A and B are shown apart, each in its own frame.
Chain A
Amino acid sequence: MSDLNQKNTSRRAFLKGSAATAIGVAGTAAAGQTPDPLITEVQDWASYTGVGVDETPYGMPISFESDVVRRNVEWLTASPISSINFTPIHALEGTITPQGCAFERHHSGAIELRKEDYRLMINGLVDRPLVFTYEDLERLPRENHVYFCECAANTGMEWAGAQLNGVQFTHGMIHNMEYTGVPLRTLLKEAGADLSADKWVYVEGADASSNGRSIPMEKALDDVLVAFKANGEALRMEHGYPVRLVVPGWEGNMWVKWMRRIEITDTAVESREETSKYTDVLEDGTARKWTWVMDAKSVITSPSPQSPIKHGSGPLVVSGLAWSGHGKITRVDVSRDGGVSWETARLGKQGDSKALTRFYYDMDWDGSDMLLQARAMDDTGYVQPTKDQLREIRGENSVYHNNCIQTWYVNAEGIAENVEIS
């Protein structure tokens, strides 16, 4: 198990090197033999002045954090204009995703739509077909909620087996933000919409892809938000500025960006994105449709292939994320031995419904190999399944809704790798 035999990329070589250096320095300091010049000598930053205010009117992360960025897997799609990239969850902590590194998914590219040019139409089975401006939306009672948004294809490449060596790539089609917006039901009532349970709310975007999804009335009246702020500021262009739909707990494709139209219909539109895409082919070739809810899922974000253990044996913080489209995360278990035995992890904070929950497993690592796994439970009692359990029911033809337990193999050097186990 310790024979990794992996490609000796510069990154990995460097990481091995830095692990050794770190241990060396720590050991020396502990022995107190060589004084640390960072302490004994006056450093430039402690002597010269720093940068004045207004250097960057809108601040960016310090340059040392330049690797904490979204990344794309080029071979996945034909063009970056109709593509997806991944949130660097290996390098983030807590639960809120900063907008600037929250994954993007466009079908015809991100568009620049000014608030002044923004119009939202409601038509179809309504008493009063209406057009709202952005300012109109700001005059309706609003709410704040933290929700995760996960692409249905998150972890999709892993159906066939361990593919991508990094939690950013295996699980990074997710972000978690605090949204400010108007409940969709407020707009529906404003237009005198037919609110009976057999009706559908079709929502469409203003970009060239005109992405549209049909939402059953029950969900539309429940917790769907028409959002115009995220994490306290305007939505980013790539997330649908100025207005996007937030469909808590349901697949990201339904969170229509640059939202321009709401139509009340008596049937699902069966648009391209709800028939040819975002449907799940089972083993016998039939496909599930309208699989909207994202089931409970968790993953260890560190250690992971992009975030190896650099400090050697001793105290180790295993940190990860858990979430469920059905409600709250109630418990996360961690296994060090590939699922033979499990221990319950500590939740960073009691989970919000349909939002990311951070969990920690604080351990004393003895430096031996580990097969690290996490397993989430939600308040419906649902336990995150293994890949084999999923395959037993669905086969291997599917792409979407892979919420399987992920395994990282961590070797004695602290290097982690994406593996599949028996």
Chain B
Amino acid sequence: MSKSLNILLPALGGTAIVLALAITMANRNYGGSKIEMLEDRLSTVETRAETADAKAKEQSVRADELAQKVQDVQAKAELVAAGATLAEPAPRNDDIYGLGRTALDVEIIAWDVDVLPGGRGLPEGRGDATWGEEVFVERCAACHGDFAEGVDNWPVLAGGFDTLGDKDPVKTVGSYWPHLSTAWDYINRSMPFGEAGTLTPDETYAIVAYILYSNDLVDDDFELSHENFAAYEMYNKNGFILDDRADTEYPLWRTEPCMENCKSDVKITMRASVVDVTPDEEGSASSAMMTEDHSSAVTTTPEVTPTFDAALVAAGEKVFKKCAACHQIGEGAKNRSGPQLNAIVGRTMGSADGFKYSRVLKEALEEGRVWDAEALAAFLEKPKSYLKGTKMAFAGLKSGQDIAAIVEYLKLFDE
């Protein structure tokens, strides 16, 4: 405050001198007009004095601010000296920057498809478990099994009731999921794996109804729709509690830890080498260090011989992403939910070792039918009409260019 007074005083002093002068002149008995004039002047002077006063106050505030800044800078300098940094968060601006453009309603509709607990956000539609089974077998069973039991390591969707208290709980849609909306939302947005976003609302309702049926939670004539969705209650809806670590764990473990004689007896009770589930390390210290020649980099892409159309192969490699969810190709390729595809061009149909083929492909194997480029192209265009009963859930490639590209790509892997 002392600084502001210092600034204020000269201004007030000035005003006092002007006022004193005005009063002296009035006492010397000038004419009435002059008095009027002086009164005018006086008011002007007073106004000016007020302005000066306000300015002085303004300056004092500014002085305060500057003083504060000096203090801040000094404090920071002290912090820096003490080893801290000058990092500051991005400014917390109450104004907005005005960046971004308005999202159009049609854009929001396209992207905002999540469904909230109770079914908020669901589109209209319906489907029953019987139809759901058909859709499921066609679109989902390659990974999840005809009865939602899960193939290989793919998720089991049914059963597992009364296992949640076991060491290896089977957490299925039936036994574990607390909200039906989660199933609808996830299937609609993220499934089928490798073909997300291709199910109609009716198909999604039907699949969800079938999953409930496969969990023995509804009958086969059960129809799920936007109308009865909210009323359906999940088996495990009360099975969740909020994170309670702050009550059950932190008070126990926010203590001064033991440093000496903390336990009496220490024995090894389990060893990872006995369990032996650790992957072998290709390119680990041993193999890298024992290899004499380090100069040649390992290439994983097959060599392209001049007989291949490189551009087409590159395009085919991109198209293959649509297949990669189920099929592997190249060195070390294994059967997944689809057979491995090495040397597929020219291979007998249904002949990948160890893969469980559909009936139609077993028959093709017996007949000795071969995957030549033509057969592959026809199959990839409409898999289910070319081989009726194939397990392959893929709907087919619409573009002839994509088909040509992928066949060219597949030719590369001739082993």
A residues neighboring B (CB under 8 Å): 1, 4-7, 9-11, 14-15, 18, 63-64, 66-67, 69, 71-79, 81-82, 107-109, 121-124, 128-132, 136, 139-144, 160-166, 169, 182-183, 185-186, 189-192, 202, 204, 208-210, 212, 260-261, 263, 265, 267, 269-272, 275-276, 279, 281, 283-293, 295, 305-306, 333, 337-343, 371, 375, 377, 380-385, 389, 393, 395-397, 409, 417-422
A130, B101: Cβ atoms under 8 Å?
A: yes
Residues of B within 8 A of A183 (CB): 89-90
**B254 contacts which of A14, A81, A383 (Cβ < 8 Å)?**
A383
A130, B102: Cβ atoms under 8 Å?
A: yes
Residues of B within 8 A of A76 (CB): 153
Q: 16 other contacts beyond A129-B108, A130-B100, A131-B100, with CB at 8 A cut-off?
A: A64-B289, A71-B279, A72-B279, A81-B325, A108-B193, A163-B275, A191-B100, A261-B112, A269-B117, A285-B164, A286-B239, A288-B244, A289-B241, A341-B259, A341-B261, A420-B270
Could you pull out 8 A-B pairs where Cβ atoms are within 8 angstroms? A14-B289, A14-B290, A64-B288, A72-B279, A73-B278, A108-B196, A202-B114, A267-B117
Does residue B181 face the partner (Cβ distance < 8 Å to A)? yes
A265, B259: Cβ atoms under 8 Å?
A: no
> Shortest CB–CB separation between residue B48 and chain A, in angstroms?
44
Contact with A along B71-114 (1 / 0, CB 8 A): 00000000000000001011111101111111100011001101
B169, A270: Cβ atoms under 8 Å?
A: no
B240, A288: Cβ atoms under 8 Å?
A: yes
Residues of B within 8 A of A289 (CB): 240-243
CA–CA, A341 and B260, complex, Å: 4
CA–CA, A380 and B251, complex, Å: 11
B272, A163: Cβ atoms under 8 Å?
A: yes
Does residue B54 face the partner (Cβ distance < 8 Å to A)? no
> Shortest CB–CB separation between residue A301 and chain B, in angstroms?
14
| CB-CB nearest in chain B for A124 | B112
> Shortest CB–CB separation between residue A191 and chain B, in angstroms?
8
Residues of B within 8 A of A169 (CB): 278-279
**B239 contacts which of A5, A79, A285, A419 (Cβ < 8 Å)?**
A285
Does residue B130 face the partner (Cβ distance < 8 Å to A)? no
A165, B286: Cβ atoms under 8 Å?
A: no
Supposing A284-B165, A421-B267 touch, asked if A291 and B243 sit within 8 A by C-beta, the answer is yes
Of the listed stretches B33-41, B171-179, B225-233, name the one at the interface; the rest are far from the partner chain. Answer: B171-179
CA–CA, A66 and B295, complex, Å: 11
A290, B242: Cβ atoms under 8 Å?
A: yes
B178, A275: Cβ atoms under 8 Å?
A: yes
CA–CA, A14 and B289, complex, Å: 10
B277, A263: Cβ atoms under 8 Å?
A: no
Residues of B within 8 A of A185 (CB): 92
Of the listed stretches B4-12, B184-192, B307-315, B386-394, name the one at the interface; the rest are far from the partner chain. Answer: B184-192
B169, A272: Cβ atoms under 8 Å?
A: no
> Shortest CB–CB separation between residue B3 and chain A, in angstroms?
33
Tell me whether chain B's interface is mostly helix, strand or loop, or mixed.
Answer: loop
Contact with A along B365-407 (1 / 0, CB 8 A): 0000000000000000000000000000000000000000000
Residues of B within 8 A of A162 (CB): 270-272, 275
> Shortest CB–CB separation between residue B114 and chain A, in angstroms?
5
Does residue B281 face the partner (Cβ distance < 8 Å to A)? yes
> Shortest CB–CB separation between residue A57 and chain B, in angstroms?
15
A275, B266: Cβ atoms under 8 Å?
A: no
| CB-CB nearest in chain A for B118 | A267
| CB-CB nearest in chain B for A62 | B294
**B281 contacts which of A5, A6, A279, A306 (Cβ < 8 Å)?**
A306
CA–CA, A272 and B182, complex, Å: 6
Residues of B within 8 A of A292 (CB): 243
Contact with A along B281-301 (1 / 0, CB 8 A): 101111111100011010000
A190, B281: Cβ atoms under 8 Å?
A: no
B90, A73: Cβ atoms under 8 Å?
A: no
B259, A422: Cβ atoms under 8 Å?
A: no
B99, A139: Cβ atoms under 8 Å?
A: yes
Residues of B within 8 A of A293 (CB): 243, 245
Residues of B within 8 A of A384 (CB): 253
Residues of B within 8 A of A409 (CB): 268, 271
| CB-CB nearest in chain A for B166 | A397
> Shortest CB–CB separation between residue A386 and chain B, in angstroms?
10
Does residue B67 face the partner (Cβ distance < 8 Å to A)? no
Residues of B within 8 A of A132 (CB): 99-100
CA–CA, A66 and B297, complex, Å: 10
> Shortest CB–CB separation between residue A340 and chain B, in angstroms?
6
Does residue B27 face the partner (Cβ distance < 8 Å to A)? no
CA–CA, A342 and B284, complex, Å: 33
Residues of A within 8 A of B154 (CB): 78
B286, A131: Cβ atoms under 8 Å?
A: no
> Shortest CB–CB separation between residue B85 and chain A, in angstroms?
10
CA–CA, A295 and B96, complex, Å: 36
B290, A121: Cβ atoms under 8 Å?
A: no
B259, A140: Cβ atoms under 8 Å?
A: no
**A161 contacts which of B173, B194, B240, B275 (Cβ < 8 Å)?**
B275
CA–CA, A146 and B83, complex, Å: 18
B257, A375: Cβ atoms under 8 Å?
A: yes
Supposing A123-B103, A409-B271 touch, asked if A271 and B185 sit within 8 A by C-beta, the answer is yes
Interface residues of B in 116-174 (CB under 8 A from A): 116-117, 143, 152-154, 164-169, 171, 173
Residues of A within 8 A of B415 (CB): none
Residues of A within 8 A of B294 (CB): 63-64, 66
**A67 contacts which of B259, B275, B288 (Cβ < 8 Å)?**
B288
> Shortest CB–CB separation between residue A347 and chain B, in angstroms?
14
Supposing A281-B169, A419-B272 touch, asked if A269 and B116 sit within 8 A by C-beta, the answer is yes
Residues of B within 8 A of A341 (CB): 259-262
Residues of B within 8 A of A395 (CB): 167
Residues of A within 8 A of B284 (CB): 11, 67, 306
> Shortest CB–CB separation between residue B184 and chain A, in angstroms?
11
CA–CA, A356 and B101, complex, Å: 38
CA–CA, A89 and B344, complex, Å: 40
Residues of B within 8 A of A81 (CB): 193-194, 324-325
B277, A75: Cβ atoms under 8 Å?
A: yes
B281, A4: Cβ atoms under 8 Å?
A: no
CA–CA, A371 and B267, complex, Å: 10
| CB-CB nearest in chain B for A384 | B253
Residues of B within 8 A of A6 (CB): 271, 273
| CB-CB nearest in chain A for B324 | A81
Residues of A within 8 A of B28 (CB): none
> Shortest CB–CB separation between residue B70 and chain A, in angstroms?
25
Q: Which of B97, B177, B244, B279 has the most CB of A within 10 A?
A: B279
Residues of B within 8 A of A1 (CB): 268
**B190 contacts which of A11, A210, A338 (Cβ < 8 Å)?**
A210
> Shortest CB–CB separation between residue B172 and chain A, in angstroms?
9
Q: Which 5 A-B pairs have the closest CB atoms?
A: A285-B164, A78-B153, A141-B90, A285-B165, A130-B100
A422, B325: Cβ atoms under 8 Å?
A: no
Does residue B258 face the partner (Cβ distance < 8 Å to A)? yes
| CB-CB nearest in chain A for B168 | A397
A275, B179: Cβ atoms under 8 Å?
A: yes
A420, B268: Cβ atoms under 8 Å?
A: yes
B273, A263: Cβ atoms under 8 Å?
A: no
B262, A128: Cβ atoms under 8 Å?
A: no
B255, A383: Cβ atoms under 8 Å?
A: yes
> Shortest CB–CB separation between residue A310 and chain B, in angstroms?
10
Does residue B30 face the partner (Cβ distance < 8 Å to A)? no
Residues of A within 8 A of B241 (CB): 286-289
